[in-house]
């Protein structure tokens, strides 16, 4: 019997060759490489890639040329497709709920009959599991978050741009005046919105290295052992956290709407700071600009932006705002991990019926009811 098909989106793998060989031994790999949306749609309609059971995208920079994964694309996927494992932490570009609702309860006998040892007692399930790779870039994002937190307390952006300007007056201005308006983060409260893997790692670094107090808000309270490991205080209401935090860090996935609206930003502690390493659309940038201009907030650090790749001109002109080009998770280690975790998700799913890092499992369960 022929092996089941995995559709590999984008470039060749670069690092995890032994694991890829394992994948090849159990699946037939077909490639889309990097094609436009119209070409990809035509390929799906013509069944050019066959009845693939999984999609694998090992890199963030390629394999996504078809654009957002919405109903137009998802409705064209073969009923055989059961899992999409992609690089990257964010998934605001893919309708994970629509994936979960896709198709019918497809029988997995195609896998049972192939050389791949899928457990025969695993029930058929509807929908496509989407797996991200946030776990692979946790360390890199956490390190960048620490840089942004430090920058909001110590005005590193002001100092750096003054030095790079080659202007003697600007250098002297920074040299003489920064000390009067900056602080060490030790003892200040860091309020984390979203204490997932990345938020938790940031909390570990901030509490251990800088002695910061940890507050957090999430849709559910963490177990006691997790809270105690970072001496964290839970705030059930977001506005309560905002009022108490000296620096608020946004580390929650984008769920379709802003987390920090103008009304929320108005409730932030006066003179506090804001850092965003999640998604730009989580924050009302106009309200952020107004809060910085009024002094409600003293500084901000942003890796992500509302209208990427375009950066807000007002924020870019502010010396008390540190800006990055959405590179918090960008490191060789992250990309090695993206590659590996995607394959582990596919192999794990077809060995045990469970993926390693599913993000739409709750909707998969709903579609089974």
User: In this predicted model, what pLDDT tens digit does every residue of 332-348 receive, in sequence order?
Assistant: 999 999 999 999 999 99
% of residues, the chain, pLDDT over 90: 80
pLDDT at 214 over 90: yes
Mean pLDDT of the chain: 91
Q: How far apart are CA 128 and CA 345, in angstroms?
A: 13
User: Which of these is catalytic: 113, 236, 308, 333?
Assistant: 308
| pLDDT over threshold 60, residue 315 | yes
pLDDT in tens, 117-169: 444 444 445 689 999 988 899 999 999 999 999 999 999 999 999 999 999 99
Please identify which of the residues 8, 98, 154, 279 carries the catalytic annotation: 279
Indicate if 308 belongs to the active site. Answer: yes
Q: Is-catalytic flag, 48? A: no
Residue among 140, 148, 9 nearest 83 (CA): 9
pTM of the model: 0.87
* 290 three-state secondary structure: helix
Catalytic residue chosen out of the listed positions 39, 97, 326, 366: 326
| Predicted local confidence at residue 101, as pLDDT | 87
What are the structural domains of the chain?
A: 5-132+333-366 (3.40.50.720), 137-323 (3.40.50.720)
In the prediction, which pLDDT does 367 show? 52
């Amino acid at each position: 019997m022929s092996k089941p098909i995995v559709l590999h989106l984008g470039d060749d793998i670069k690092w995890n060759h032994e694991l890829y060989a394992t994948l090849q031994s159990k699946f037939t790999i077909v490639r889309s490489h990097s094609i436009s949306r119209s070409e990809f749609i035509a390929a799906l309609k013509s069944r050019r890639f066959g009845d693939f059971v999984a999609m694998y995208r090992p890199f963030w920079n390629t394999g996504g040329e078809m654009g957002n994964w919405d109903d137009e694309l998802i409705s064209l996927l073969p009923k055989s497709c059961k899992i999409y494992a992609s690089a990257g932490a964010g998934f605001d570009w893919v309708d994970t709920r629509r994936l979960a609702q896709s198709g019918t309860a497809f029988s997995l006998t195609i896998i049972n009959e192939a050389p791949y040892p899928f457990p025969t007692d695993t029930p058929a399930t509807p929908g496509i599991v989407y797996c991200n790779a946030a776990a692979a870039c946790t360390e890199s994002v956490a390190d960048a978050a620490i840089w942004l937190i430090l920058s909001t307390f110590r005005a590193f952006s002001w100092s750096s741009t003054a030095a790079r300007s080659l202007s003697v007056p600007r250098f002297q201005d920074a040299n003489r005046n920064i000390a009067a308006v900056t602080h060490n983060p030790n003892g200040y409260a860091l309020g984390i919105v979203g204490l997932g893997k990345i938020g938790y790692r940031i909390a570990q670094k901030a509490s251990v290295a800088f002695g910061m107090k940890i507050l957090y808000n999430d849709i559910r309270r963490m177990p006691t052992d997790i809270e105690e490991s970072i001496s964290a205080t839970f705030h059930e209401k977001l506005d309560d956290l905002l009022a108490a935090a000296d620096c608020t860090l946004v580390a929650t996935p984008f769920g379709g709407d802003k987390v920090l609206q103008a009304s929320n930003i108005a409730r932030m502690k006066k003179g506090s700071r804001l850092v965003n390493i999640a998604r730009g659309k989580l924050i009302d940038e106009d309200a952020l600009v107004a809060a910085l201009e009024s002094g409600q907030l003293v500084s901000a650090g942003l890796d992500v932006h509302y209208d990427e790749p375009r950066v807000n001109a007002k924020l870019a002109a502010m010396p008390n705002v540190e800006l990055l080009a959405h590179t918090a998770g960008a490191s060789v280690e992250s990309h090695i991990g993206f590659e590996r975790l995607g394959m582990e998700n596919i192999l794990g799913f077809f060995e045990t019926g469970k993926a390693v890092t599913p993000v739409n499992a709750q909707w998969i369960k709903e579609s089974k009811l």
